[in-house]
Chains A and B, each alone.
Chain A
């Protein structure tokens, strides 16, 4: 059984290495900044998740001290990776794109990076929309 556990952990570690390397290699190889956003935010996050699963299995199955700290780190990383990707994409758009180049939002307000946030509508005592 010990052998089976070791094989399982080894598989996760090798997967982690391959995914992490793929993410960082994509950062070098892809041509455009918007394309480069894909590789690290997805593949590297998956690689780190795999490392953390391997760590949890190692301490739980072989050392016999199960802990959920790794799950905490995994959840944190999986929550923050899309936010950072969104922020970096917005930074790139704000620095390199004009409002004419991108399509309309088809909503009442335009793109958040080019326009001010919408003002709240004030309704006075007679039910009229005030300034």
Chain B
């Protein structure tokens, strides 16, 4: 039963990644693209954790933690670059 739910959740997050990709390609504003990239990072974290549950191993926490931190820093850096024209003043 858990296997079926895992496949369902993975499918949902995979389709979500496709939606994000559409928004990155189309999105009229730069803010839309940053938002889509941030959502993509969150979806990827969810996929990594789901893969860890499926494999039954606890090795993937570090990977998902790293992806979360890098995603946050890159989003803030991108926004700051657009706001101020510089990342670290």
Contacts and interface: CB of A to CB of B under 8 A. Distances in A.
Interface of A: 6-7, 9-10, 13-14, 16-18, 20-21, 23-25, 27-28, 33, 36-37, 40, 44-45, 47-48, 51-52, 54-55, 58-59, 63, 65, 67, 69-70, 72-73, 76-77, 80, 83-84, 87-92, 94-96, 113
Q: Determine the interface band of chain B, counting residues with CB < 8 A from chain A.
A: 35 or more
Given A13-B2, A76-B68, A88 B9 contact: no
B83 A48 contact: no
A18 B8 CA distance: 9
Contact of A113 (B30, B72, B83): B83
Given A77-B68, A92-B31, A45 B42 contact: yes
Interface of B: 1-2, 4-6, 8-13, 15-17, 19-20, 22-23, 28-32, 34-36, 38-39, 42-43, 45-46, 49-50, 52-53, 56, 58, 61, 64-65, 68-69, 72, 75-76, 79-80, 82-83
Contacts of A55: 49-50, 52-53
B62 to A, nearest CB: 8
